[in-house]
Amino acid sequence: MFKIKNIITLFSLIATVSIASAQIKIGDSFPDIQLQNNKNSTVKLNSFKGKTVLVDFWASWCAPCRMANKKLVKMYDQYKSQNFEIVGISIDIDKSKWLKAIEKDKMKHQQLIDPKGFDAKTAVTFGVDTLPSTYLFNASGKLIAINPTEAQIIAQIKKNKK
């Protein structure tokens, strides 16, 4: 019995390490991901290389996300002309609720959807386990912060401003 328990523990540990190593980490480049946007076009995440990019995971049913959207809308309006982009990635399962939330929250920044909830490939790649979750990439396309503060985002925008 003791040996079986050890074997199970070992396999669990190996699986956890394998999953963790597959997740994006500080210093990694934009993952090779393409998703549909709210205008039914396919968008490649790495197409934003050259800008400071904030990737924001959210969902229409997430109250903290919806409150954060108000701040993101203001930040985008203020800094969009300074080589800055926000890419919202929704894990909504219901596309119509996602589209209504975009309209209601007046979000003009790029909006993508991976409609499989927390099991979405994109959410797994980024290691998203809570919402909202944000990831800050520099102009070289390297991840420099996970869940950065507003001050960190603004400092990076100013650093990469052209």
pLDDT in tens, 82-117: 999 999 999 999 999 999 999 999 999 999 999 999
Tokens of 50: 């050259």
Digit-by-digit pLDDT tens for the chain (162 residues) are 556 555 455 444 444 443 444 689 999 999 999 999 999 999 999 999 999 999 999 999 999 999 999 999 999 999 999 999 999 999 999 999 999 999 999 999 999 999 999 999 999 999 999 999 999 999 999 999 999 999 999 999 998 875
* pTM for the model: 0.85
Q: From 37, 89, 79, select the one nearest 58 (Cα to Cα).
A: 89
Provide the H-helix boundaries in the chain: 2-22, 63-79, 95-104, 121-126, 150-160
What's the alpha-carbon Rg for the chain, to the nearest Å?
17
